[in-house]
């Protein structure tokens, strides 16, 4: 745990929010005590709803390391990750998460991710956005090709 790195994540969240780049969120990825990536919320400035601080930092860290795996890395984020960011952290295989504000703190200022947490646990047929399966057999042929592909890179 490194309080200086967390302070830096919070500082980024403040600076970039005040600069009008997005919401009040910042993240830093560290490996072996060295900062390898910084990210901040760029949703409104980039017109990208996935440009959350953690996702931006993950993208930068992967570029920096030249790898899609961030094993051996730790993320410091100014707020408890939303469901998308948490999934991204798991996909990137980060070792540890440190966060400052909680999701309840975020909800108190109208960043309420609770709907998403509930929606993920809701059966597909009851979700708010209708989900309909189409052409599974055709798509499954591609999955079979992947399974048989000898030079695939597993991730």
Q: Which residues are marked as active site?
A: 54
Q: Calculate the alpha carbon distances from 87 to 2, 54, 83, 84, 120 in Å.
A: 23, 10, 6, 5, 11
Residues in the chain: 155
**C-alpha distances in angstroms, 72 versus 31, 69, 77?**
6, 9, 17
Give strand ranges (E) for 63-148.
73-79, 96-101
- Closest-CA residue to 96 (of 119, 72, 78): 72
Q: How many CB atoms lie within 10 A of CB 37?
A: 22
Name the nearest CA neighbour of 57 among 83, 31, 33, 32: 31
Separation of alpha carbons 117 and 110, rounded Å: 15
């Amino acid at each position: 745990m490194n309080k200086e790195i967390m302070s830096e994540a919070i500082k980024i969240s403040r600076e970039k929010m005040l600069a009008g780049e997005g919401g009040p969120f910042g993240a830093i990825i560290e490996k072996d005590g060295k900062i390898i990536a910084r990210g901040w919320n760029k949703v409104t400035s980039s017109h990208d709803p996935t440009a959350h601080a953690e996702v931006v930092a993950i993208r930068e860290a992967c570029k920096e390391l030249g790898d899609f795996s961030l094993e051996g890395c730790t993320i410091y984020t100014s707020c408890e990750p939303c469901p998308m960011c948490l999934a991204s952290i798991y996909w990137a295989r980060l070792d540890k998460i440190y966060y400052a504000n909680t999701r309840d703190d975020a909800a108190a200022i109208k960043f309420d991710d609770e709907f998403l947490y509930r929606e993920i646990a809701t059966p597909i047929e009851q979700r708010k956005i209708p989900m309909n399966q189409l052409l599974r057999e055709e798509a499954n042929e591609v999955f079979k090709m992947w399974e048989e592909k000898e030079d695939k890179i597993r991730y």
